[in-house]
Structure 1
Amino acid sequence: MLEHRVLLESPLARVAAVRCPGGHAWSPEEQVDGAALVLIRRGVFLRRADGRAALADVTTGYRQRRGEAQQISHPGGGDVCTSIHISDELADRFGPFVRVSPIADLAHRRLLAAAPADRADLVADLIAALLPASSAAAHPAIDDVRALLHLDPSRDLGALAAAVGWSPWYLSRTFHRVTGCTLNSYRRRLRVRTALDELPHSSDLAGVAVRVGFADQAHMTRAVRAETGRTPAALRRDLDQGI
């Protein structure tokens, strides 16, 4: 069961928050009644569309197409997503999986933090940021590795490779080909996005750094700047209206 809360209406798209409870079982099959882009704000889950399953997380969302049959499994529960309802014509410009770059992630956060009067332009900015990276691929073994990293971002290459029965070299090579980034970059991206979730609600940057897995505040600042081009303090001011 999904709980929807409409956030805005605009000529370009309708944006809604979607909160999903936990549960390992697949949901009943449902027909998609309109095209949408779904971006994950918090959590990680599996989506099966027309018989093909793939992992959705903060780095990879997905496109829904009208008439598509889908099911969802939420092993961890508590997932929160943004559903951007778009035209069928715009949906045709996207692949089935949507890679969320750091630039697109910031555009998403700015949209959610913005005053209502400013949101229509920000929807356009977000969609423009997502379009160049809309051809992300799905791979079951890499999905397994991504899920393991969500559970424990510090898990080393050897343990990840053993979990999927591959050599460390082959895992590193395949992970980069499928996701567009290295394993180390992906670890950093998960930690940075967790930090960005906390920044608008905490003035204790050193505490945020420790809680999300960085060695100290300086380490977090370097990582956030590398991902976003801005410091944690600047982003906290930018996003302090709440996400």
Structure 2
Amino acid sequence: MAQVVEIWTHADAPPPSGVIERHAVVLPYEGLFGFRAGPGSGLFDAQRALFVTAGQEYADSHPVEGIGHAALVIRPSDEVLEELFGSYRPSSHTAFRRLGLPMSARARMRTQRLRRLGRGGVNRLRDDERILATLREFLPERSVPLNGCSRIVERAREVLHGLGFERVSLDRIAREVGVSPNYLTQAFTRAEGQPLYRYQLGLRLNRALVELPHSDDITALALDLGFSSHAHFSTAFKASFGQSPSEYRAEARLAA
């Protein structure tokens, strides 16, 4: 769906240059750098996102001595580019024509969350939804039409239940439902009041409530439910229910 990489360029290192291989959205979060590609050029920092078009030669620069830069680079798939920006060659979109767009406070916060992708347990569904939400920060607000949404959401719930506690990507669920990942995540969040990954987390935690009183090995149960570790499971469980899995188990066994 989209690839995310993090880049660091130290102030004393030669700024990168070359040919842009794929369309990308660059989200700076530290420092300052100049960017030139084709006829366009500009300065970029954490207040401004950079939109780069494949096939162009580019060159970075460090205009202030002693200041390098760091950024996240999102390389969307052709499918995501076409839906969000109108074409898998989105050079006609305002963002790409202008080379850059301002970053709101919410976009800057989302950038920091993207830096933590994969930490605290691998959750591809959550990560995919966060990437799409970040890209949508730079688009005009568009509401999802309600026609057909209820059946789409119901089908998504069926798919999640059918997959059990398997770690799954947004792409896979969208293929099963028969809509695009972007449309699915917007429709589901609007209908259910929470993103897909939160809904799946709820399914896992609900099963934990049932299984914990009879489970002697909490780590094994956590892994069976799709959590990456005992710690990951305990953190999610306590955040939802206000007590640790072991405390809940002891209380349930005492009551029994």
TM over 0.5: no
Instruction: State TM-score, norm by structure 1.
Output: 0.45
Instruction: State TM-score, norm by structure 2.
Output: 0.42
